[in-house]
Amino acid sequence: MLLKKITILSLFISLISCSSGFSEKEKQEYTIKGKEIAQASFNELSSQLMTQMQAGGPAQAVPFCKEQAAPILAQLSSKYDANIKRSSDLLRSCKIEPTERELEIIYGYKKLISEKKDIQPIVEVDSDNKKHFYAPIIVKTNCLVCHGKVNETMSVKTDSIIKSIYPFDIATGYNEGDLRGVWSITFNK
């Protein structure tokens, strides 16, 4: 009987210590780091995008995104020693493939938004002991030019530019405040 109790107790302790393989302190640190990286990536992408928009409108900015979005994120990935990815359930780029976990998180965020609840970044460790940070990407007014509703917030002209480059695009029809996707950051250490 005593032995049984000890076995149960040690099992319990090992469960606790297993989940604390990622301590609260570490979780906080990775949350701060993740937020910083996501913010820096957003700032870099959006400032370059705005420069292109001012210089030549969507006809220049859309091809720029196609050519430069991935290299910009690759450069930031090496700077921050992490893999920085934007993921979505409704994709424009055919080079992005959402993982199962990313999709789960996206659907979870969408549910919370529909219930008008607060959404927070998620930090977790996977079975290979890799640390991940996920945070929502919310649609803002200036995103609608290229991700909005055709003939309403997005012009037919821009839609045709996008369709000519991305024939399989499904990343339109958004409203301000919708979830566009997630930042998915995997830390190298």
Binding site for ligand HEC (CB under 6 A): 46, 49, 53, 58, 61-62, 65-66, 69-70, 86, 88, 91-93, 96, 137, 139-140, 142-143, 145-147, 171, 180-181
Cα 116 from Cα 56, distance rounded (Å): 38
- Indicate the residue among 10 and 51 with the shorter CB distance to ligand HEC: 51
Cα 178 from Cα 49, distance rounded (Å): 20
Cα 127 from Cα 22, distance rounded (Å): 12
Residue of 45, 35, 16, 21 whose CA lies nearest to 187? 35
- In whole angstroms, the minimum distance from the beta carbon of 101 to ligand HEC comes to 16
- In whole angstroms, the minimum distance from the beta carbon of 43 to ligand HEC comes to 11
- Indicate the residue among 31 and 46 with the shorter CB distance to ligand HEC: 46
Place of tokens 């996008």: 162
- Indicate the residue among 82 and 144 with the shorter CB distance to ligand HEC: 144
Cα 84 from Cα 185, distance rounded (Å): 5
- In whole angstroms, the minimum distance from the beta carbon of 181 to ligand HEC comes to 4
- Indicate the residue among 15 and 170 with the shorter CB distance to ligand HEC: 170
- In whole angstroms, the minimum distance from the beta carbon of 95 to ligand HEC comes to 6
The DSSP H or E segment spanning 105 is: helix 100-114
